Amino acid sequence: MAKILTVVGARPQFIKAAAVSRQLSKHGISELIVHTGQHFDDNMSDVFFREMEIPKPTYNLEINSLGHGAMTGRMMEALEKIMVDEKPSAVMVYGDTNSTLAGALVAKKLHIRVVHVEAGLRSFNMDMPEEINRILTDRISDLLFCPTDAAIRNLKSEGFDNFQSKIVKNGDVMQDAAYFYIEKARRISTVIAEHSIPERFVLATIHRQENTDNIDNLKGIIDGLNRINKEISVVVPLHPRTRKILASHKLSPEFMIIDPVGYFDMISLLNNCSLVVTDSGGVQKEAFFFKKHCVTMREQTEWVELVENGFNALCGSSSEKLYGSYKAMVSKESDFGIDLYGEGKASEVIARELLEWL
């Protein structure tokens, strides 16, 4: 029987892998999961795996809180031993973390085929560590699952037609996960009642270092959100580290700040909000999955099809542009029936393709 070794390192990757794992099992493909520990998360307890219906990792390497070089190197060292012992038919990696690159590099050097889910995405910003990880992983992958036509165009423009790799458009596995978990979120999430969140609200998230660690960017964002909050309630799940930065620079949010939320609470907020404002790549897509327009506090996005089709507006960190984008998007009407990400069948495409390919 074919055996896939899946390498993941962050909670969002577990959610993506869960969607694929369900289909691998359904199609009779054996899988073992390695958690590098890159993003240490207290919430990833037995309850997390049980509620999310995610297979528990076979291995947990507990490698975190290191610089990029040390982290990637230690991951490679540990992964090499596991791959030599387990002898998988292929190694599957997701997205653009250090775990992604470490898994792909080790597999390639051991002559094990590499499968990259979310291949072909580009921000065209080489200052982002994620951009380096995704470009290098794509180049050494044997089977590249692309979520969008734009991702395929990126690979072709980089010469992938001349490489010994196979490109498949499968859609976005996060849409599979969102559709799978929304009913459970409706049943168990209490976040809206718990915080007395009004019927109409804007959901905002801020986490990228280019925004949280740049005081000018952060000031522009806080000013813009404060201005929006005068017209409609703004709700921001915010990491304690960012709260401390706000306090140290005497920035005064006038909107509602709540503690970081789990996945079920997050999709409940997404499902009930009037508009999304974010600097997260994943949240941009999730806004679309739940038929919400989005304002993105970045200068570029990997999800260009959302901008091209009018579901997303880029505003950077300017207070004026943020407010202007909010005004343009909050009452906008769009056809969310367009199929951009596979309509919840991306994982099934992966499983069927692997069955033929392995």
Helix, strand or coil, per DSSP, at residue 292: coil
List the domains of the chain with CATH numbers. Answer: 3-172+342-357 (3.40.50.2000), 181-329 (3.40.50.2000)
Q: What is the CA radius of gyration of the chain?
A: 20
Give the alpha-carbon dihedral of 161, 164, 169, 171, to 10 degrees.
-130
Query: What value does the mean pLDDT take over residues 21-28?
Result: 95
Strands 256-258 and 312-314 come out as unpaired
**Cα(301)–Cα(314) distance, rounded to whole angstroms?**
8
Query: What value does the mean pLDDT take over residues 183-210?
Result: 95
The string of pLDDT tens digits covering residues 101-122 is 999 999 999 999 999 999 999 9
Give the alpha-carbon dihedral of 337, 339, 341, 346, to 10 degrees.
110
Residue type present at position 185: A
Phi and psi at 320, nearest 5°, equal -65, -45
pLDDT at 345 over 80: yes
208-212-213 Cα angle (round to 5): 110
Highest mean pLDDT among 9-18, 20-29, 121-130: 20-29
**Residue positions annotated with a catalytic role:** 207
Task: Please give the helix or strand (H or E) that residue 296 lies within, else none.
Answer: strand 294-296
Task: Please give the helix or strand (H or E) that residue 50 lies within, else none.
Answer: helix 46-52
**So what's the pLDDT on residue 262?**
87
**Which residue, among 61, 107, 55, 57, has the nearest Cα to 80 in the 3D structure?**
107
* Six token digits for residue 66: 């290191």
**So what's the pLDDT on residue 10?**
86
Helix, strand or coil, per DSSP, at residue 240: helix
**Cα(305)–Cα(352) distance, rounded to whole angstroms?**
26
8 A C-beta contact, residue 246 and residue 227:
no
- Answering whether pTM is above 0.85, one says yes
